[in-house]
């Protein structure tokens, strides 16, 4: 295995008093919280794309990272070198999972035949790397947004031949994910939206997208894939509007096409805020709808109106998200994937470790705070008390359809009801939460 990070040792837990920047201060994989280890709770993954496919280039400047495996050369040889470096990084970081797009790991080539052959060869390589290192695949996916053919989308493209090409990529990516033991398969509609309504048939595109998703489900059952199918919502960027705007919008789409029991959500923090929601809201919404699946852990910048994909560092925000996840029973097949990238000025080889160490430590801190909120249970008690009336005779009768508008009106008039508003005690609860978060 190539030693690109030869100056960096395996990252170990050294405790909160450690001054070693290349050590975990809070993430202790084997520490038990609420009966499970941190590793079991968090199920963390590092992504292939930001870490090993991006050279630091942006629309205003050239690449800054100098990654040798991204330089000109034999495409397959460079892909294998990239895999060496990726699994060296995963192993030294002590992270249990990784995630990839098909063309992250294999050269796309100049024809569908080259794509299939290159991808198949690299799946062999990934399978060997997983066996050597013990690193597992949290999820795989297909990139249906980078190639110019997908400028107008893949599943929603006005050209059925492009729809078919995208379906071919998903066919091979799903098969690869199953072979590699992937626990989920993700679909992100990066360009499944529109730039202008002047040339868009909304009904046509939604029906195309619905049929595409139905085909994915059909193939899942045909090959016997036992993992979870995940949809990753995002409101806009790169398109003006995307059909998978947020968790609630996706749920409505799934209901329309009879797919609500086949998919769960892969929620990205930065996508939630771009939709005008908090990360906390999106997670709680998905849980309430029964479609929570996995997390892309990152953050945005409040002063920038685009997807900056920075490493998560708000323990306060993460604690409330973790509280919702723990309260709902925790992850099943999902986990926390760091869909996060370095800043262009972070050019040292160690910077990739610093970003992930921080993210892993912050999630560990959040897990501890969320566990404390669960154990103290004052939020649960406050919610139960607030809605207690719905457990009484009147509430149960309304919910079980024993009442109509007429019967309720008659009952209110007969009993001369005059209910009064009750305090939600928001400020008290915020104070109590902060006493746990910042103890």
**Mean of all residue pLDDT scores within the chain:** 97
How confident is the model at residue 1, as a pLDDT? 43
Is 377 labelled as part of a ligand binding site? Answer: no
pLDDT at 2 over 80: no
Is 271 labelled as part of a ligand binding site? Answer: yes
pLDDT digit string (tens) for 392-427? 999 999 999 999 999 999 999 999 999 999 999 999
Is 232 labelled as part of a ligand binding site? Answer: yes
Is 309 labelled as part of a ligand binding site? Answer: yes
Average pLDDT over residues 78-97: 98
Secondary structure (H, E, C), the chain: CCCCCCCCCCCCECCCCCCCCCCECCCCCCCEECCEEHHHHHCEEEEHHHHHCCCCCECCECCCCCCHHHCCCCHHHHHHHHHHHHHHHHHHHCCCEEEEEHHHHCCCCCCHHHHHHHHHHHHHHHHHHHHHHCCEEEEEECCCCCCHHHCCCCCCCCCHHHHHHHHHHHHHHHHHHHHCCCCEEEECCCCCEECCHHHCCHHHHHHHHHHHHHHHHHHHHHHCCCCEEEECCCCCCCCCEECCCCHHHHHHHHHHCCCCCCEEEEEEHHHHHHCCCCHHHHHHHHHHHCCEEEEECCECCCCCCCCCCECCCCHHHHHHHHHHHHHCCCCCCCCEEECCCCCCCCCCHHHHHHHHHHHHHHHHHHHHHHHHHHHHCHHHHHHHHHCHHHHCHHHHHHHCCCCCHHHHHHHHHHHCCCCCCCCCCHHHHHHHHHHHHCC
Average pLDDT over residues 214-233: 98
Answer yes or no: pTM beyond 0.75.
yes
Average pLDDT over residues 320-328: 98
The class (CATH top level) of 29-376 is alpha beta
Please give the positions annotated as active site: 101, 104
- Where exactly are the structural domains of the chain? 29-376, 381-438
pLDDT digit string (tens) for 97-120? 999 999 999 999 999 999 999 999
How confident is the model at residue 305, as a pLDDT? 86
């Amino acid at each position: 295995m190539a030693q690109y990070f030869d100056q960096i040792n395996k990252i170990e837990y050294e405790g909160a008093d450690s001054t070693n920047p290349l050590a975990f201060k809070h993430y202790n994989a084997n520490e038990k919280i609420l009966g499970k280890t941190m590793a079991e709770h968090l199920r963390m993954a590092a992504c292939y794309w930001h870490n090993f496919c991006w050279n630091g280039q942006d629309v205003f400047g050239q690449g800054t990272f100098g990654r040798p495996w991204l330089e000109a050369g034999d495409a397959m040889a460079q892909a294998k070198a990239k895999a060496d470096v990726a699994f060296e990084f995963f192993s030294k970081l002590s992270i249990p999972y990784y995630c990839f797009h098909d063309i992250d790991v294999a050269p796309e080539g100049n024809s569908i035949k080259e794509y299939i052959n290159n991808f198949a060869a690299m799946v062999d390589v990934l399978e060997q790397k997983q066996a050597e290192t013990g690193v597992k695949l949290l999820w795989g996916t297909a990139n249906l947004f980078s190639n110019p053919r997908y400028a107008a989308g893949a599943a929603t493209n006005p050209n059925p031949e492009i729809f078919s090409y995208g379906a071919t990529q998903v066919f091979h990516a799903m098969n690869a994910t199953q072979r590699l033991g992937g626990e989920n398969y993700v679909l992100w509609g990066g360009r499944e939206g529109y730039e202008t309504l002047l040339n868009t048939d909304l009904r046509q595109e939604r029906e195309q997208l619905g049929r595409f998703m139905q085909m994915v489900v059909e193939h899942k059952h045909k090959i016997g894939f036992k993992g979870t199918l995940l949809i990753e919502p995002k409101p806009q960027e790169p398109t003006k509007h995307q059909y998978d705007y947020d968790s609630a919008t996706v749920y409505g789409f799934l209901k329309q096409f009879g797919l609500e029991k086949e998919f769960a959500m892969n929620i990205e923090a930065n996508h939630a805020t771009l939709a005008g929601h908090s990360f906390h809201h999106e997670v709680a919404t998905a849980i309430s709808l029964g479609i929570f699946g996995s997390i892309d852990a990152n953050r945005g910048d409040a002063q920038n109106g685009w997807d900056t994909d920075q490493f998560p560092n708000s323990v306060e925000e993460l604690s409330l998200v973790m509280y919702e996840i723990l309260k709902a029973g925790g992850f099943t097949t999902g986990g926390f994937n760091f869909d996060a990238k370095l800043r262009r000025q972070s050019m040292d080889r160690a910077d990739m470790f610093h970003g992930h160490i921080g993210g892993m430590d912050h999630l560990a801190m959040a897990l501890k705070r969320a566990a404390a909120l669960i154990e103290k249970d004052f939020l649960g008690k406050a919610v139960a008390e607030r809605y207690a009336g719905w457990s009484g005779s009147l509430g149960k009768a309304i919910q079980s359809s024993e009442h109509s508008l007429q019967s309720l009106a008659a009952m209110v008039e007969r009993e001369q009801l005059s209910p009064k508003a009750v305090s939600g005690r928001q400020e008290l609860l915020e104070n109590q939460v902060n006493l746990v978060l910042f103890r």
